[in-house]
Amino acid sequence: MHGESLKLSRRSVVNSESSSRHERLRDRFSTPHARGVVGLLIASAALALITANGCHIFLATKGQEISLLPSLAYGAAKWLWWGAVALGMWLLARKYPRFLSFSLRAILFQLALGSILSVFHMALLQGVWRAGMHWSVWKEAYPSINYFVLSSFGADLMIYAFLFGISGFLHMQSQRQLDAMLKLGLEKQLSQAQLHALQMQMEPHFLFNTLNALASLVAQGRNPEATETLAHLDTILRMTLQRRAPEKVPFTEELRVIESYLAIQQVRFAERLQVKIETTPEALEGLVPCFLLQPIIENAIQHGIAPMEGGGLIETRVKRVGNRLWMQVRDNGSCSTDSPTKGHGIGMQNTRERLAFFYPGAHEFAAAPLATGGYEVTIQIPYERTVA
């Protein structure tokens, strides 16, 4: 079993790395520069074919049959060369990003490189012309051609300058796109890390309070109640461990956690704690961030019900209102607003931050004391139905 789990773990790592490599390759080949290179290669191939066709037609007018090969070679040498240059610029820019910068030093370097490549291109065209002498009709049509002239050099240098300009511009656009994607990826990772930190902060907070309650029951010799509390705690921990925190869950699952938590507290407070929960079928299907209402209910018990000798009532209402999920937790407790943590404890602050993460600018959170006594917290979030 241990060996199988190791194999699965390694396979998972390999699959993850492979997926990551595929994503990086996809990102690189979907940049403006990559698409521009594809366009330039297609354009150079089209020009090569057009030039070869024109050359072949011209040779055919001489009244002799001739192979298409020399015309294709000439068209390829004249235009596919520049497609290859554009491709080379893209490949070099991927490895050396400053290769296509527009600094004075880079422009002078490109001028020198363009001059060298233009000379090589002229030599290539001259070589193709000489190879064409194998065919008599070619020799008759082009008896003497010299590509090593200033006009040819100037034309090639202008084409190179055009390719450098458009490649440099597309490279800048690609770098901006990749930088933006990297920034978004880092922001997403940071947000996920922050949310995970909030989740990890909240669950030990709840566990700490529950263990305190257990210790109190054991100290009082209330072993049956302690055993019952452990059973409810086991239910909550099992559900928590099954979740891939942080995530949203159907409210019906959240309700099980709330009911188990309240059962634990009712063991502790006995008749001093009265509970009322009202939900609708649509509300039970709605998605909510896990552990959303539990810290609010915990806050109500700790600051509203616990200080009162006669105890009190906690009411929880959840329903769908249009395209919103409406949730409210109310207690009729002591309403001791002078408490420094009333409405501002770890659980309440955690809830605010998690709502801001899941529903930025699309949620409402209101917490205030009631005129008749007690405290009320109301939350509204976009209604999202469970997908089967």
The per-residue pLDDT for range 27-63, each reduced to its tens digit, is 456 788 888 889 999 999 999 899 888 888 877 777 6
> Distances from the Cα of 308 to the Cαs of 209, 311, 343, 348, 369, in angstroms?
19, 5, 18, 21, 16
Q: Are 254 and 286 in contact (CB under 8 A)?
A: no
Higher pLDDT, 16 or 141: 141
Tokens 């616990």 correspond to: 306
3-state SS of 139-174? HHHCCCCCCCCHHHHHHHHHHHHHHHHHHHHHHHHH
* Residue 7 pLDDT exceeds 60: no
Secondary structure (3-state) at 298:
helix
pTM: 0.48
* Residue 324 pLDDT exceeds 80: yes
> Distances from the Cα of 70 to the Cαs of 39, 50, 80, 136, 287, in angstroms?
26, 14, 15, 12, 70
- Residue 69 binned pLDDT confidence (cut-offs 50, 70, 90): confident
Residue from 317, 318, 369 nearest 343 by CA:
369
What's the pLDDT at 235?
A: 78
Higher pLDDT, 350 or 375: 375
What's the pLDDT at 1?
A: 43
Query: What torsion do the CA atoms of 291, 296, 298, 299 make, to the nearest 10 degrees?
Result: 150
The overall average pLDDT reported for the chain is: 80
Q: Per residue in 202-229, pLDDT tens?
A: 556 667 777 887 888 788 888 888 888 8
Secondary structure (3-state) at 176:
helix
* Residue 23 pLDDT exceeds 90: no
Measured CA to CA, the distance from residue 114 to residue 132 in angstroms comes to 27
* Residue 358 pLDDT exceeds 80: yes
Q: Per residue in 136-186, pLDDT tens?
A: 677 777 777 788 889 889 999 999 999 999 998 988 888 888 777 777 765
* Residue 119 pLDDT exceeds 80: yes
What's the pLDDT at 18?
A: 47
Q: Is 75 exposed, middle or buried (0-12, 13-18, 19+ CB in 10 A)?
A: buried
Q: Which residues of 157-167 are buried (b: 16+ CB within 10 A; e: fewer)?
A: bebbeebbebb
Measured CA to CA, the distance from residue 3 to residue 268 in angstroms comes to 46
Strand arrangement, sheet containing 375-382: 273-279, 312-321, 324-331, 375-382, 364-369
Radius of gyration over every alpha carbon of the chain, rounded to an integer in angstroms: 37
* Residue 15 pLDDT exceeds 60: no
What's the pLDDT at 10?
A: 42
Residue 46 amino acid letter: A
> What whole-number percentage of the chain has pLDDT above 70?
78
Q: Are 120 and 157 in contact (CB under 8 A)?
A: no
Q: Per residue in 272-312, pLDDT tens?
A: 889 999 999 999 999 998 878 888 888 888 888 888 888 89
